[in-house]
Amino acid sequence: MSYLKRAEKRGGKFLNPVPTTMGGVSLFFKVLPLYFENKAKVEPKRELGPFRTEAQMYETTPESGLRVTWFGHSSSLIEIDGMRVLVDPVWDQRASPFSFFGPKRFFQPTIALADLPKLDVVLISHDHYDHLGAPTIRALTKSENTAGARWVTSLGVGKRLQGFGVPAERITELDWTDSVQVRDLKVTSWPARHFSGRGLRDRFTTLWASFVLEGPKHRVYFGADSGWWEGFGEIATQYDGFDLTMLEVGAFHPLWEVIHLGPDNAVKAFEAMGGRGGLLMPIHWGLFNLALHPWKQPVERIVELAAEKGIPLWLPVPGEPTEVARGAGVRSDWWQSQD
């Protein structure tokens, strides 16, 4: 049985690749008391950083052919075989529909959007606020660095991008298993176990996905948001191997583990790839308070698990363009000196 197939709909709503039951009102009433009772240090005492990205770094090409700048949470600039891909950019102050309420950034953007280098692709995995910030997209559409960029996203999200100012002719929507070639880079959409929506009434009306970026010499798997499912291993078998596998470790809780991995299931997913994952890069942590756990717990747990299992981690300093060399892990431990 193959788990890798195009997305299906029922009643106008997209389905997950495996049966997935998400809590409705009942989950809300389970979670609400936990928030009131929670004593965990879910946010730093003071703003983290400052972290800075030196724009002149992008004037030189990466020696290895692959360089990544992690801007916090799931936002990254991936330089791969001469192509630049900006992934799930959120420069907004809050991961929220409101400018005055909602999860606030732990540290300020490490570089102004206008100071980013010329981009070839802007990749948006799905439409949640912590992955798609309207002010960020509006600013990017006015920037010269996106003048020639192809905007790649999941089914239905293109309409949202158009509403934020992205020209329709520059948007490519992908169904699961679809690919688009942007000069030397092939971008392929693969299933993920998650959901979509920016309000109470539009859940599942747009698609969510994980993606593979495939250049002539390097490959990166961007897991985006997903709970554990059996498809991770099958996705990996479609390729000879990845240089870097980006999996989410934050914003997890047992009550919603079907849609978010957390550190333990991230390791399970990485191991399911059967040695094809390359370096494991934990994402979806360190920038917003989106759960009940201490803000450092995701990274501390993944470091502990990786040490136990001999998994090579790739953990750079926020905002620092960092080379990805095959088999060479990176451990900055930047969070230990914060807070």
Complete domains list, the chain, with CATH: 24-332 (3.60.15.10)
pLDDT reported for residue 39? 80
pLDDT reported for residue 214? 98
The three-state secondary structure class of 202 is coil
pLDDT reported for residue 160? 98
Between residues 115 and 24, the one the model is more confident about: 115
Q: How confident is the model at residue 40 (pLDDT cuts 50, 70, 90)?
A: confident
How many percent of the chain have pLDDT more than 70? 96
Angle, CA 141 vertex, CA 136 and CA 144 arms, to 5°: 115
Q: What is the mean pLDDT of residues 228-257?
A: 96
240 with 254: CB under 8 angstroms?
Answer: no
Exposed e or buried b for every residue in 203-216, given b needs 16+ CB within 10 A?
Answer: ebbbbbbbbbbbbe
pLDDT reported for residue 1? 73
For residue 275, pLDDT over 60 is answered with: yes
For residue 131, pLDDT over 70 is answered with: yes
Q: How confident is the model at residue 322 (pLDDT cuts 50, 70, 90)?
A: very high
Q: Which of 30-34, 100-104, 116-120, 324-328 has the highest mean pLDDT?
A: 116-120
CA 14/CA 228 separation, integer angstroms:
18
pLDDT reported for residue 31? 66
How many percent of the chain have pLDDT more than 90? 90
Output the average pLDDT for the chain. 95
pLDDT reported for residue 327? 86
- What confidence tens digit (pLDDT) does each residue in 45-99 have? 999 999 999 999 999 999 999 999 999 999 999 999 999 999 999 999 999 999 8
- What confidence tens digit (pLDDT) does each residue in 8-18 have? 999 999 999 99
Least confident of 34-43, 188-197, 238-247: 34-43
For residue 25, pLDDT over 60 is answered with: no
pLDDT reported for residue 29? 58
- What confidence tens digit (pLDDT) does each residue in 177-233 have? 999 999 999 999 999 999 999 998 899 999 999 999 999 999 999 999 999 999 999
The amino acid at 291: A
Strands 66-70 and 76-80: antiparallel
CA 50/CA 281 separation, integer angstroms:
22
40 with 228: CB under 8 angstroms?
Answer: no
For residue 37, pLDDT over 90 is answered with: no
pLDDT reported for residue 325? 94
pLDDT reported for residue 152? 99
What are the distances in angstroms from CA 317 to CA 51, 85, 275?
8, 19, 26
DSSP conformation class of 90? -
